[in-house]
Amino acid sequence: MRLILLGPPGAGKGTQAQRLVAKHGIVQLSTGDMLRAAVAAGTPVGLRAKDIMARGELVPDDVVVAIVADRISEPDARNGFILDGFPRTVPQAHALDRMLAEKGLRLDAAIALKVDEGILIERMKTRVEQMKARGETPRADDDPDVLTRRLITYRNQTAPLVAYYQLQSTLRSVDGMATIEEVARAIDEALTSPGRVKRASAGRSTRQSARKAAKGAPRSIKATKTARKAGGTTRKKAKSKAKSPRKKAGKPALRRVARSTSKRRRRLTKHK
Ligand code: AMP
């Protein structure tokens, strides 16, 4: 299974990712964790990312894309993975599509955690205070000002991905403000929702509706209602009301004759 978790910082992506890892036997690939490890190790990527991350901005796409491309090629990711914090921009999403296509893989779902940003900031503030009270050092980017910047960055650069995955029909939205257990249950349900089944047969139904449309599909309910309101007629009524040329001339209607050639031929044979 290959999944994406979308949601602003503090939405609980990491917590849900860990649960999905245990449930589906897949690996969690958190670009935030990978970048923090690079910063701690003082690698060239880490040196490049350090200040950007501390400001709450996004590390350049090429850097993150390269990290993810390497990581998903590792053996432990063969069984599937959950991307936590990637993609974060539309170009990153395009890059991921290309990476997966090259490997003949596809994404199973993009899970979006919907949250209230105001409540999120309050939650983060509480978390930081609790960490400080325990004598722990909060992350540099957990500072309230930086968090606000990270939320703005999310809104501007990452939120458009919701529409991106909606268009790809892989989006599953879940209420991220519920309890951890409730969110987990909602994700499980979303992953086995009928939407997935429907999508599987979408090709055939699309062809069927295209054929129907080509034959002259019935007017939509809205169009029919509009026509009625305007004092007009529906297509069926209009047909039955239309006068034939004989009727207009006051002549009696002719008996219906068989239209198909075979019926006509049979009739002619009978007359002979
Ligand atoms: P996170 O732990 O996912 O909130 O990530 C922490 C920080 O790492 C972010 O604020 C960014 O500076 C950087 N980062 C993580 N993932 C990405 C990404 N996909 N693209 C760009 N920057 C990222």
Is residue 174 one of the residues assigned to a domain? yes
Degrees (nearest 5) of the Cα angle 159, 162, 163? Answer: 110
64 lines ligand 1 (CB under 6 A): yes
Q: For ligand 1, pick from 18, 45, 58 the residue to mutate: most ligand atoms within 8 Å of CB.
A: 58
pLDDT of residue 268: 46
The number of beta carbons lying within 10 Å of the beta carbon of residue 18 is 14
Compute the average pLDDT of residues 102-107: 93
52 lines ligand 1 (CB under 6 A): yes
Specify the ligand 1 atom closest to the Cα of 150: 10
Q: How many domains is the chain built from? A: 1
Q: For ligand 1, pick from 34, 72, 88 the residue to mutate: most ligand atoms within 8 Å of CB.
A: 88
Closest by Cα among 123, 115, 186 to 155: 115
pLDDT of residue 202: 34
pLDDT of residue 211: 40
Of the two residues 142 and 213, the one the predictor is more confident about is: 142
CB 115 within 8 A of CB 177: yes
Compute the average pLDDT of residues 134-158: 88
Is residue 164 one of the residues assigned to a domain? yes
Is residue 246 one of the residues assigned to a domain? no
Specify the ligand 1 atom closest to the Cα of 141: 10
> Distance (Å, rounded) from C-alpha 163 to C-alpha 10?
21
Is residue 147 one of the residues assigned to a domain? yes
- Range from 22-36, 110-124, 133-147 carrying the lowest mean pLDDT: 133-147
107 phi/psi in degrees, rounded to 5: -85, 135
Q: Rg of the chain over CA atoms, in angstroms?
A: 30
Residue identifier of the C-alpha nearest atom 1 of ligand 1: 32
pTM beyond 0.85: the answer is no
Residue 221 CA to ligand 1 center (angstroms) comes to 48
Compute the average pLDDT of residues 215-219: 37
Phi-psi region of 143 (alpha: psi -120 to 50; beta: other; left: phi over 0): beta
Tokens of 154: 């999310």
Residues 6+ away with beta carbon under 8 Å from 94: none
Place of tokens 């893989």: 105
pLDDT above 50 for 91: yes
- Range from 26-35, 60-69, 112-121 carrying the lowest mean pLDDT: 112-121
SS3 assignment for the chain = CEEEEECCCCCCHHHHHHHHHHHHCCEEEEHHHHHHHHHHHCCHHHHHHHHHHHHCCCCCHHHHHHHHHHHHCCHHHCCCEEEECCCCCHHHHHHHHHHHHHCCCCCCEEEEEECCHHHHHHHHHHHHHHHHHCCCCCCHHHCHHHHHHHHHHHHHHHCHHHHHHHHCCCEEEEECCCCHHHHHHHHHHHHCCHHHHHHHCHHHHHHHHHHHHHHHCCCCHHHHHHHHHCCCCCHHHHHHHCCCHHHHCCCCCCCCCCCCHHHHHHHHHHHC
pLDDT of residue 121: 86
Residues designated as active site: 13, 88, 127, 139, 150
Is residue 216 one of the residues assigned to a domain? no
9 lines ligand 1 (CB under 6 A): yes
**Bridge partners (DSSP) listed for residue 5:** 84, 111
Is residue 209 one of the residues assigned to a domain? no
Compute the average pLDDT of residues 77-106: 95
- Of the pLDDT bands very low, low, confident and very high (cuts 50, 70, 90), residue 33 is very high
Specify the ligand 1 atom closest to the Cα of 35: 8
Q: Which amino acid is at 100?
A: L
> Distance (Å, rounded) from C-alpha 32 to C-alpha 86?
9
Tokens of 44: 């060239």
Is residue 251 one of the residues assigned to a domain? no
Residues 6+ away with beta carbon under 8 Å from 90: 160, 161, 164
Share above pLDDT 90 across residues of the chain, in percent, rounded to a whole number: 57
Specify the ligand 1 atom closest to the Cα of 31: 16
Q: What is the CATH number of the domain that holds 125?
A: 3.40.50.300
Residue identifier of the C-alpha nearest atom 14 of ligand 1: 32
Q: Give the structural domain span for 148.
A: 2-193
12 lines ligand 1 (CB under 6 A): no
CB 92 within 8 A of CB 116: no
Share above pLDDT 70 across residues of the chain, in percent, rounded to a whole number: 71
pLDDT above 90 for 261: no
56 lines ligand 1 (CB under 6 A): yes
39 lines ligand 1 (CB under 6 A): no
What are the CA-CA distances from residue 219 to residues 49, 205, 207, 210 (Å)? 57, 19, 19, 14
Specify the ligand 1 atom closest to the Cα of 86: 19
Residue 24, Cα to own-chain centre: how many angstroms? 20
Is residue 226 one of the residues assigned to a domain? no
